[in-house]
Amino acid sequence: MGKRDDSDEAYVVGLCDRVLGETASRQHTFDWLLGDPGAGGRRARLPVDAHWPGHQLVVEYRELQHDEAVPHFDKPDRLTVSGVHRGEQRALYDARRETEIPAHGLRLIVIRPADLDADNRGRLRRSQEADLVVLRKILARAGDEDRVTDAFRTWLLAQGWTPVEPTDRWTDLEAVRGAERLICEAKGRTSEKGIDADIAYGQLLRRMTSEAPHVRYALVVPSSSVKAVERVPAHVRRLLRIDAYEVTDDGAVFRLPG
């Protein structure tokens, strides 16, 4: 058994296989997902950790070195073909995956050690039953979140809005209409409606970097989460310039009072 076969990445992908009922293509490459040009101008394909063709899904398991500086992995004294050290290139390529994968019609889910049962060094304890519970929620939520986002994007277009590249790469959807700008956070169906609504409000608060009155914020949720969203009173949402929207099971969109 090789090191990769026994890695935390392989463990997570294996659990996802169980949840999805399909065996992933591991270290999968696509013709359109490429690194920067190397010697002679050749561009290598960038692998993804796992691809499930039947689910149109890609999962990336990102260990601590993807989010924190780790000299052992970053090799700051050695430049890559991108002209930066390995840690900066890793961040560059992660961002490229996050842009290109959805642009080619696939869902991308990023899983981190903190999502699962891990120690303070990011090593998984491999508590299979507990990790399976979490992964089922992550995989189900992400699928419905895409449904909610797609329905809301279609509604925005019908209302004269134009989706644009988000200012913050973690924003689910951003759109402009004349001088107006709307920054959106979308959530799918979840068994933790109250917690997810609170998290969504917090995510919007962190993105409120502009005081311009033409910038507004949208919280977009399925019908099952409307009551959780309305726990924040309408007058508070008005003060914060947050508009709340419901996406029904058949894809209709309604703006909530307030």
Which pLDDT belongs to residue 77? Answer: 62
Give the CA radius of gyration of the chain.
Answer: 20
pTM of the model: 0.55
Q: What is the mean pLDDT of residues 180-202?
A: 90
How does pLDDT run across 213-244, given as a tens digit for each residue?
Answer: 999 999 999 999 999 999 999 999 999 999 99
Round to whole Å and give the CA distance between 22 and 16.
9
Which pLDDT belongs to residue 105? Answer: 79
Residue with the larger pLDDT of the pair 141 and 67: 141
Which pLDDT belongs to residue 240? Answer: 95
Q: Is residue 190 within 8 Å of 184, Cβ to Cβ?
A: no
Closest CA to 210 of 247, 250, 167, 244: 167
Which pLDDT belongs to residue 78? Answer: 65
Can you tell me whether residue 220 is helix, strand or coil?
strand
CATH 3.40.1350 positions along the chain are 143-255
Which pLDDT belongs to residue 74? Answer: 44
CATH for 143-255, options being 3.40.1350, 3.30.310, 1.10.3470, 2.60.40:
3.40.1350
Q: What is the mean pLDDT of the chain?
A: 88
The two structure tokens encoding residue 241: 């310039």
Which pLDDT belongs to residue 37? Answer: 87
How does pLDDT run across 96-155, given as a tens digit for each residue?
Answer: 998 899 888 788 999 999 999 999 889 999 999 999 999 988 887 667 888 898 889 999
CATH 3.40.960 positions along the chain are 4-126
Residue with the larger pLDDT of the pair 49 and 121: 49
Which pLDDT belongs to residue 70? Answer: 53
Round to whole Å and give the CA distance between 30 and 23.
18
- What residues form DSSP beta bridges with 244? 219
> What would be the CATH architecture of the domain defined by 4-126?
3-Layer(aba) Sandwich (3.40)
